[in-house]
Amino acid sequence: MVRRIASSGGARKPKRGRRVASGPKAVKGRRTVGHTAHSKVGSSQAKGFVDPRELTSEDLVTKTLQETSGSLGMAARPKVVDFSARLRERRMARFRGWAVRAGVALLVLAVLGGLIWTLFFSPVLRLESDRIEVHGGNEWVSGQRIKEIAAKQSGRSLLLVSTSEVTAQLGDIPGVSAAKADKRYPRGMSVTITAQKPAAMLKASDDDLTAVDDRGRILNSVKGASASGIPVIEVSNVNDGLRDRAVLAASKILGDLPEQMRHRISKVSARTQDSITTELDDGRYAVLWGDASDLALKQAVVDKIVNDPTKIGDKHQVDVSAPLRPIIK
């Protein structure tokens, strides 16, 4: 076939898809065909030949910008792991955590310290002696002494003041039958007492009178106090009388009697602690109490007999030493 084309006097293009074995013209013709005819690509790919011009190029710059851009379109840090930087970041994070915790702890300690100082050591809640009020008392119990006892707590925070301690100290004062102390915030206190009259007056041989309560304790008499209506117990000596069991038993009985009966007593005899005797209405009636036991029952029996003419009749003595079997003479 090659020979026929040459004899025709003109060059003929090889048919589509036909390979030329050799020669520069054949090579030239092949390149021209490959360049102009697009269908040749499929034939070349089928035989393992890849035309690099047909490969899709990848824009690495655009891809890098897309991967490193943030949500707002700004360039972000490249995704390159720097282990030393990460280690520093972790150390800084731990340090910040410790610093925050330490700061919170110091703040809490400062608040607690300030609160403790304010409540217990500052003048805010400090008890002042001039803000202590005393209610109650009488001419036999000095209000000034009551205030002096309560003022021992002054200068301390009210949170540290013990009202029970104040009450106990006030109860030990002769003539105080009841006491109560209340805090008055921020810096005051109110003290209320129930003061009793002397249970008896001890009359010594020199005619001096000493007031005692129902427990035989000497009262601090206010100057000019009246002894009217207070039973009198005659003793040879006041100090000896305070140690005498008979005198102490008589004081107990006299202190428990109602005020109306106490005013009727004109004389008290206390030879022994089991033979306490009182005279009523200037000696009209004599009551033998015995000892200081069962006083409530003895008082009820005496009151019923003495105040009922049908019971006492013309008799003058009532023995209630055994209250369930009273004896009228």
* Confidence at residue 175, expressed as pLDDT on a 0 to 100 scale: 84
Average pLDDT score over residue span 308-324: 90
Decide which of 15 and 54 is more confident.
54
pLDDT, one tens digit per residue, over 107-123 is 999 999 988 988 888 88
* Confidence at residue 277, expressed as pLDDT on a 0 to 100 scale: 93
* Confidence at residue 286, expressed as pLDDT on a 0 to 100 scale: 93
pLDDT > 80? residue 167: yes
Residue 157: which pLDDT band, with cuts at 50, 70 and 90?
Answer: very high
Q: Please, are residues 217 and 198 in contact by the beta-carbon 8 Å criterion?
A: no
pLDDT > 90? residue 69: no
- DSSP string of 270-305, one letter each residue: ESSTT-EEEEETTTTEEEEEESSSSHHHHHHHHHHH
Average pLDDT score over residue span 103-110: 92
Containing 177, the helix (H) or strand (E) segment is strand 176-184
Task: Give the mean pLDDT of the chain.
Answer: 79
Can you give the pTM of this predicted structure?
A: 0.57
Average pLDDT score over residue span 31-54: 52
Decide which of 107 and 40 is more confident.
107
Return the sign of the alpha-carbon dihedral for residues 141, 143, 148, 150.
positive
73-77, 153-157, 293-297, range with the lowest pLDDT: 73-77
* Confidence at residue 119, expressed as pLDDT on a 0 to 100 scale: 87
Decide which of 27 and 98 is more confident.
98
Q: In the block, which residue shows the tokens 């003539």?
A: 175
Spatial strand order of the sheet with 176-184 comes to 132-135, 188-195, 176-184
Average pLDDT score over residue span 275-284: 91
